[in-house]
Structure 1
Amino acid sequence: MTKSRITSLEVAKRAGVSQSAVSRTFTPGASASKKTVEKVRKAAAELGYRPNVLARAMVSGKSRIIGLVVAYLENQFYPEALEKLSNELQKRSYHVLIFMAEQTAGHIDTVVEEILDYQVDGIIAASVALSSDLSERCRAAGVPMVLFNRSQDDPNMSAVTSDNYAGGRKVAEFLLAAGHRKIGYIAGWHGASTQRDREAGFTAALAEAGVALHSRAEGDFKMEKAADATRKMFAHDAPAAVFVANDHMAFSVLDTLRFELGLRVPEDVSVVGYDDVPAAGWPAYNLTTMRQPTNRMVANTIEILLDQIDKNTGDTRHIAIDGPLIVRGSAQIPKGWTI
């Protein structure tokens, strides 16, 4: 026989307090004395009571749930970023629901519609492409959304990224300062703003120095495709340096250069990545890379989202945070630079 669910009224009777005191005890931010909280939680534990979060949301209009949608987790940058986003939201008494979505606008729209069914207070979309009318649908539902590590040409959609354009420029300036002129680029997925902006900054700085991009191949942010792009790029008239659009691909590029093509890094070819994920610092890779300021990106994302939730405003913000170039041993180092 199934045991009936314990109610807040039963907890109130056991604790000798009002039913509203039980509600306040389990409502984040609500006022209740320490003595009351102790009595209520003791009674709840004895009875096996668990507050019904969804029922409370129907009454208060706030679920304290944030939907977090992400397209893929192979790239080490995203598990680390999602962990930080989740931890910071939990510190603020928010619960996180993570949804996986394929890297297509149509499928992500479907996932976001599903997220809205959970009565979430807000949505953070990481590494995803969105259709042009999705922000309007979220606004109509009264649910703010912030893009994390992506941006798009929508004035009504808040977004937080690293300064990808400036990062691309820094990589170009570093490689040029090391004396490289035959420079290649292995691109990420063409639909990502991060890819677009990194390449734009990179090629702009090369052009200003009077250097044309020597070779280009697409890795699509996937390790297998990055390996294939490396084989094609180095089959004829190989570059002396390569900028890879993220570390996830750069690891594959390094492995292909060293163990398949028999090239020395950095003696024969310099390699620079983007993100500075934990494995970039491992001795096996020792990757020179642009660091994404993840902590500041997370802090700004949460600040924007919770501000929109608390103030119920449609104010949007677009933030691009500059990060440093982390110089290690995978690229020749210009004179005057130190590791």
Structure 2
Amino acid sequence: MTRDPTPAAVSVHDVARAAGVSQSAVSRAFTPGSSLSPDKRDRIIAIAAQMGYRPNPLARSLLRGKSNIIGVGVGDLANPFFVQTLQLLSQALETANLRLMLFPAHGSQGAEPSIQEVLHYRIDALVLLSVSLSSKLAEECRRAQVPIILYNRTTGQHDASCVVGDNTTGARSIAAHLLGGGHERLAFLAGTPESSTNAEREAGFNAYLAERGHPAPIREEGHFSFEAAMAATRRLLVRPDRPDALFCANDTMALAALTVARHEFGLDVGREISIAGYDDVPIAAWPGYALTSYSQPARQMVDETVRLIHALRADAESHEEVQCPGTLMVRSSTRPAKISV
């Protein structure tokens, strides 16, 4: 038994011939606000529907010199902050009649997406969610006229825009809160050492302690990972000089630290040890965690990212660095501050 060959897709040329109009008239019929009479538009659309024609939005946008596709490189979908960001970003791009194309970053945390994969598509801009930007990727995107926006990271290069939270102020606020609770043995659980967010949060935290005459915190690395943070917390809590307060460079690590302290060491979190995070992801407010955290305003950061996308699509050289302020969210995972410091 032979099968009929798959019928060829109906083209704009086929519709134009059937309707007795030009191909440009068919295109205008599917373009809102175009200069085409309502009767003519309705007739063309009716004929197109009868023939099973569907306009190709990508092909039509490329004719105008833009694909309306925004590439997003992301390496850590286990972090709820970036899941939240992706959801907000996809909604905001859809409202702006743009589409999101995801490029997973391969290799270790913070590694960049494949240059070949990114440049294979005619994307209008590339957003990197806490993903590193190498000079090679920056140069290749510059040659391809693909503007880059770093989200939650900064760069020393001048050919990319950045949208970040106020990491220094946030870390200093957490340091002040922990010192106000009377803590004496503070620790810092670092993320990925080479990331700008970790560097800024650690520097802000340490600087505030030094300004108040407090010794530098005990330091461990959790690489922004739940599993690595659990291991790092165990190392901290078996020390003879066990810390009585722990600032984690993001909420993923703070939730891991809270789990270890509470369920493996039997500590009363918020009394025997205070644990604070950074980002204020939705789960941080759950009663079972009640995690003190400094918020990153994801919605505002996404809105600024979309604003930059529009600006860069018009002028690929209009680079900016945008900083969005956050708020300290105090919950029961930390001892209440009793003094001002």
TM-score (norm 2): 0.91
Q: Say yes or no: does 1:80 pair with 2:76.
A: no
Partner of 1:142: 145
* Contact 2:72 2:127 (8 Å CA) reproduced: yes
Report how far residue 11 of structure 1 moved: 3.4
Find the partner of 2:305 among 273, 281, 301: 301
> Contact 1:240–1:269 (CA<8 Å) still a contact in 2?
yes
Distance (Å, rounded) in 2 between the aligned partners of 1:206 and 1:196: 16
Most deviating of 99-108 and 228-237 = 99-108
Q: CA deviation at 1:149?
A: 1.0
Q: For the pair shown, which has the larger CA radius of gyration, 1 or 2?
A: 2
Kept after mapping to 1: 8 A contact 2:250/2:279: yes
Shift in Å, 1:59: 2.8
Partner secondary structure for residue 135 of structure 2: coil
Matching residue of 2:28: 24
* Inter-CA distance 245–107: structure 2 relative to 1 (3 Å threshold): closer
Contact 2:110–2:131 (Cα < 8 Å) also in 1: no
Is the 8 Å Cα contact of residues 148 and 159 (structure 2) preserved in structure 1? Answer: no
Matched residue pairs, number?
335
C-alpha separation in 2, matches of 1:105 and 1:233: 23
| Cα displacement (A) at 1:150 | 1.1
Residue 169 (structure 2) aligns with: 166
Cross-structure match for 1:4: 8
Q: Residue in 1 aligned with 2:328? A: 325
Q: Does 1:197 align with 2:205?
A: no
Q: How much has 1:104 moved relative to structure 2?
A: 5.0
2:97: which partner in 1?
Answer: 93
Share of identical aligned residues, percent? 41
Contact (CA 8 Å) 1:244, 1:272: kept in 2 or not?
yes
Change (3 A) 1:332 1:14: farther
Deviation track 1:305-328 (CA, whole Å, cap 9, x = no partner) reads: 211112x34121111211000111
| Partners of 2:206 and 2:217 within 8 A in 1 | no
Whether contact under 8 Å (1:17, 1:36) holds in the other structure is: no
Q: CA deviation at 1:52?
A: 2.7
- Offset of 1:93 from its aligned partner? 1.1
Output one character per residue of 1:108-151: Cα deviation in whole Å (capped at 9) or x when no partner.
Answer: 25x23321111111111111112123222211111111011111
Match of 2:255 in 1: 251
Partner of 1:126: 129
Is the CA contact (8 Å cut-off) linking 1:162 and 1:322 kept in structure 2? yes
CA contact (8 A) 1:28 1:93 kept: no
Query: Are residue 56 (structure 1) and residue 57 (structure 2) matched?
Result: no
Worse overlay, 250-259 or 129-138: 129-138
Match of 2:213 in 1: 210
Pair 32,304 (structure 1): closer, same or farther in 2 beyond 3 Å:
farther
CA-CA distance at 1:3 after TM superposition: 1.0
Q: Distance in 2 between matches of 1:335 and 1:34?
A: 71
Q: Which residue of 1 aligns with 2:229?
A: 226
Q: Provide the C-alpha distance between the structure 1 equivalents of 2:187 and 2:168, rounded to a whole number of angstroms.
A: 17
Q: Distance between the aligned counterparts of 1:233 and 1:53, measured in 2?
A: 55
User: Which is further off, 94-103 or 52-61?
Assistant: 52-61
Q: Which residue of 1 aligns with 2:118?
A: 115
Where does structure 2 lack aligned partners over 5 or more consecutive residues?
none
User: 1:229: Cα distance to partner?
Assistant: 0.5
- Name whichever of 134-143 and 244-253 sits farther off: 134-143
Does the 8 Å contact 2:181/2:339 carry over to 1? no
Q: Which moved more, 1:222-231 or 1:312-321?
A: 312-321
Write the letter of the residue equivalent to 1:84.
L
Instruction: State the SS of the aligned residue for 1:108.
Output: coil
Using the TM superposition, name which of 163-172 and 57-66 deviates more.
57-66
Q: Is the 8 A contact 1:129 1:191 kept in 2?
A: no
Rounded Cα–Cα distance in structure 1 between residues aligned with 2:61 and 2:84: 30
Q: Which residue of 2 aligns with 1:271?
A: 275
Matched, 1:235 2:243: no
Q: Which residue matches 1:177?
A: 180
1:113 partner SS: helix
In structure 1, distance between residues paired with 2:147 and 2:37: 33
Structure-2 separation of matches of 1:251 and 1:197? 21
Root-mean-square deviation (CA, aligned residues, Å) is 2.4
Query: What SS is found at the alignment partner of 2:215?
Result: coil
